[in-house]
């Protein structure tokens, strides 16, 4: 899938499935990009890489046989951070901590060139895959606003109605804390959390934009897509590495303790 196809699919609210990456491992990104995911999301907010790592992982995502485009969760709603991610070749940005409609409008402006926005012109790598034309960049790059704070939830309908915003993305850990959870998995706020998730999804549907959510595993992603979300991310490389390694260690030790011949 190229950037143009991805942007069209997202804006027409087709189902898209992605994978989340925290590790600075272009070789891993190259392999993940060939598995069938629609996008790989590289986390420049909490991920373990800097600009060079972000650039190298985006380049690896464009490997021969890739089915995925590269998205970047930028560190902040900042024109410089957003511009550098897009100049490096990201098909879109996920912008964290959007509290209100003005924050969303600022994020949109950082993605679009004048006169539609305030992105500075300098597509050092993106011109090779999206094109140097501002009109092409506008058509082929997307901006997603994260809804993960109490303020963002309270203003979600106005956020979703922001002109030029392509979608919203739920950060479930921060959202659960924002509605009063004592931990990111606190079960005592599950009803309030699910009500918040539904409100966000319905606000996006009413505005005609995409709605996405972060998930711990594929089964959870499938559940959210069945509920009406239009894109879902499976997270993430560092957690899955630990889970699989632990499972193999447990199996090996269990087998080691078995009686011979059993």
Query: Which residues belong to the active site?
Result: 46
Task: Compute φ and ψ for 247, nearest 5 degrees.
Answer: -60, -40
In whole angstroms, give the CA distance from residue 98 to residue 106. 10
What does the angle CA 68 – CA 99 – CA 196 come to, to the nearest 5 degrees? 75
């Amino acid at each position: 899938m190229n950037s143009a196809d991805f942007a069209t699919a997202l804006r027409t609210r087709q189902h898209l499935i992605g994978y989340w990456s925290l590790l600075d491992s272009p070789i891993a990104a190259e392999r993940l990009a060939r598995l069938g995911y629609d996008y790989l999301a590289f986390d420049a907010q909490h991920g373990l890489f800097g600009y060079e790592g972000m650039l190298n992982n985006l380049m690896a995502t464009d490997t021969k046989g890739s089915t995925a485009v590269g998205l970047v969760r930028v560190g902040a709603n900042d024109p410089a951070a957003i511009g550098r991610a897009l100049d490096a070749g990201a098909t879109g940005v996920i912008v964290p901590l959007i509290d209100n409609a003005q924050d969303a409008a600022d994020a949109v402006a950082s993605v679009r060139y004048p006169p539609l926005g305030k992105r500075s012109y300098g597509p050092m790598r993106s011109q090779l895959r999206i094109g140097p034309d501002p009109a092409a960049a506008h058509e082929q790059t997307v901006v997603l606003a994260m809804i993960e704070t109490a303020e963002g939830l309270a203003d979600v309908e106005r956020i979703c109605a922001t002109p030029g915003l392509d979608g919203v993305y739920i950060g479930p850990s921060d959202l659960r804390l924002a509605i009063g959870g004592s931990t990111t998995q606190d079960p005592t706020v599950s009803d309030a959390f699910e009500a918040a998730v539904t409100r966000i999804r319905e606000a996006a549907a009413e505005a005609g934009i995409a709605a996405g959510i972060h998930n711990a595993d594929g089964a959870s992603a499938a559940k959210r897509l069945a509920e009406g979300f239009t894109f879902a991310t499976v997270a993430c490389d560092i957690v899955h590495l630990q889970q699989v390694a632990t499972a193999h260690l447990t199996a090996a030790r269990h087998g080691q303790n078995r009686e011979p011949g059993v």
